[in-house]
């Protein structure tokens, strides 16, 4: 398999780890909101939930990436990535919240200039997350 294909698989593997952890995080956030009547400020709760148990898709990706044995550094990288992705998602949510509070929630009402500012800001946040995910994917393959 070519390096670019392996990197793409490694990025999917990282995303799958986040999806699995987020399922637990979402349940915990919902239960905490019920208990105290106040949901998390940005919808993600108080902190990252790290679950290293792989989903069926995660196991498929791991088998493709590591056909013989999963290297010992993978679990630590997954944990690090889930926590970092949580922080990146919080940054994204905070950008969205701040922009919408300043300019309104209806993007259809934004001027072309304001819409461009919104899209450029969101692209900056997303590009930073993509670059970090690629860097961690590289480390998964090391």
CB neighbours of residue 73 within 10 Å: 11
Look up the pTM and report it. Answer: 0.78
Domain positions in the chain: 3-141
Six-digit token string for 11? 């990025």
Determine the angle formed by the axes of helices 3-36 and 73-103, rounding to 10 degrees.
60
Task: State the Cα–Cα distance between residues 88 and 80, nearest whole angstrom.
Answer: 12
Closest-CA residue to 47 (of 12, 16, 73, 21):
21
Q: Under a CB-based contact definition with an 8 Å cutoff, are residues 136 and 77 in contact?
A: yes
**Are the CB atoms for 130 and 12 separated by under 8 Å?**
no
pLDDT tens digits in sequence order for the chain, 142 residues long: 899 999 999 999 999 989 888 867 655 454 455 455 555 454 545 666 777 788 899 999 999 999 999 999 999 999 999 999 999 999 999 999 999 999 999 999 999 999 999 999 999 999 999 999 999 999 999 8
């Amino acid at each position: 398999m070519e390096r670019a294909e392996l990197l793409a698989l490694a990025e999917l593997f990282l995303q799958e780890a986040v999806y699995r952890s987020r399922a637990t995080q979402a349940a915990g956030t919902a239960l905490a909101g019920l208990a105290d009547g106040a949901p998390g400020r940005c919808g993600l709760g108080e902190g990252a939930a790290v679950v290293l148990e792989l989903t069926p898709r995660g196991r498929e990706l791991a088998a493709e990436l590591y056909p013989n044995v999963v290297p010992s550094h993978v679990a630590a990288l997954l944990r690090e990535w889930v926590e970092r992705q949580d922080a990146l998602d919080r940054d994204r949510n905070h950008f969205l919240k701040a922009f919408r509070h300043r300019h309104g929630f209806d993007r259809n009402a934004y001027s072309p200039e304001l819409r461009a500012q919104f899209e450029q800001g969101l692209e900056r946040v997303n590009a930073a997350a993509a670059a970090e995910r690629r860097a961690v994917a590289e480390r998964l393959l090391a």
